[in-house]
Amino acid sequence: MRPTWAEINLETISKNTSIFCDLLDDSVALCAVVKADGYGHGAVEVAREVLASGATWLAVAFVEEAAVLRREGIEDPILILSEPRPNEMEEVVKLGGVRPAIYTRAGVEAFSSVAEEGAPVHLKVDTGMHRVGVRPNEIIDLADYVVELGIQLEGVFTHFALASTPKDPFNMSQLKLFDRVLEELSEAGHTPEIVHQANTAATLEWPETHHSMVRVGIGLYGTEPSKFFSERFKELGLKPAVWLRSEVSYLQTVESGEGVGYGHRWRANKNTRIATIPIGYADGIFRGWWDGGEVLIGGAHWPIRGVVTMDSLIAEVDDSIKVGDEVVLLGSQEDSFLAVSDVAEVLGTIGYEILTSLGARIPRRY
C-alpha cells in the first residue's frame, strides 16, 4: 500500500466546534457546513463529530450530499445551500428533514408539488454576491408565493461576498441591505423562524450578523478564511484538523547542471541529493507547488524541485534523509509546521481550494 494518507483529528474538529458555539448566544444555532465531503475531511465523520459538539444543523451544496448523510443514519436538519433542480425535489422530500434553498418561482412550484402542506423552505436573497438568490426587490413576491402554495417560509438567508476581507466597506452594504430585506418581509407579514447571514468570517467579526443561526464551514476545520484571521484563530485556540503525510520512497544524487522532472523546470547548480515522494497532482497536490513550495522531513523544511507530477514530487534534501523517512505536506513535524494557509499563499489561492482538492485516492485515517 502506498505510504500516503491524510490524518484527520476528530477531537480537534470537536474542540473547534465548541469554540464557535461559545461565541454564540444561547438563542443562536450553529449550522456546520460539510459540503465537498466535509472540505476534504470526510462529510459523514465530520457531521457526527460536530453534531455531538454543539452544532444542530448541517449544510451541503447538493441533494446527493444530503443523501449520503441520510444513508449513514444522520437525521438532523440539513440545508441545501443551492436550489435543487425541479426533478430533484421529490428526492429532497423523501430524504426527510432536508430544507432546500429556494430563489425562483419554478423552485417554489416544484417543491410544493411534491411536498406536504407546511413543508419548510429557506429563501435565499442576493445582497451582492451575485451567484444565486432572489433580488431584494423581488423577495416579497416570492415569499407571498411560498405561502400561497402552502409551504412554510421557515428561513431566509444571504451570503457575504467579501467577509474574508472585513475592512472592505461592501460588507456593511450587504449587512444593511439584508437588514432592510428582513424589515420589509416583516412589514409584509413574513416572520421566518430562522434567519442566517454569517459565515466563518462574519461569525468571528460581526456578532450583529448572528441572527438566529450562523453557518460555519472552514473555521470548523481550523483553517482561517484569510490571513486577516490568523491571530484571531490563535487567540481562540482554533487548530487545523488535517495532517497530510507520506514518506521518502527513493533517493538519488543529480549532478550540477542536470534538470529534474518534466520540462526540466529546475536544474541543479551543484551536485544535489533529491528525494522522491509518492504523492502528486492526481492527489490534489497542485502542479505549481514546486515554485516556492516545501515539505517537512526530519523536522526541517526542504524545497520542492521540479514540477509536481501526477503521482509524485521531488524535494531537495541532504545525506541525513533516508528512504522511509516520514514526509509532512500539511501539519507539524517536531518543531516545524506547514499550514494550509502557507501553502495557499505560495500557490496564490485560498485554503478552501487546498483542502477541497485533496484527492479521493488519499486514504483518510481518523
Among the listed residues 167, 262, 352, 366, the single catalytic one is 262
Instruction: Identify which of 152, 357, 105, 148 has the alpha carbon closest to the alpha carbon of residue 244.
Output: 357
Among the listed residues 35, 124, 221, 352, the single catalytic one is 35
Q: Is 35 a catalytic residue?
A: yes
Q: Is the dihedral of CA 346, 350, 356, 357 positive or negative?
A: negative
Written as one string, the DSSP assignment of 25-60 is -TT-EEEEE-HHHHHTT-HHHHHHHHHTTT--EEEE
Angle between helices 105-114 and 139-148 (to 10 degrees): 20
Which grid cell sits at 57?
Answer: 444543523
Q: How many helices (H) and strands (E) does the chain have?
A: 12, 20
- Residue written as cell 499550514? 339
352 half-sphere exposure, CB direction, 13 A CA radius: 12
Q: Is 145 a catalytic residue?
A: no
- Quote the CA–CA distance of 217 and 201 in Å, as a whole number: 10
Measure Cα distances from 125 to 58, 155, 164, 173, 212 in Å: 20, 11, 20, 14, 16
Strands (E), 255-333: 259-260, 266-267, 272-277, 294-297, 300-303, 313-317, 326-333
Burial (CB count within 10 angstroms: exposed 0-12, middle 13-18, buried 19+), residue 89:
buried
Residue numbers annotated as active site: 35, 262
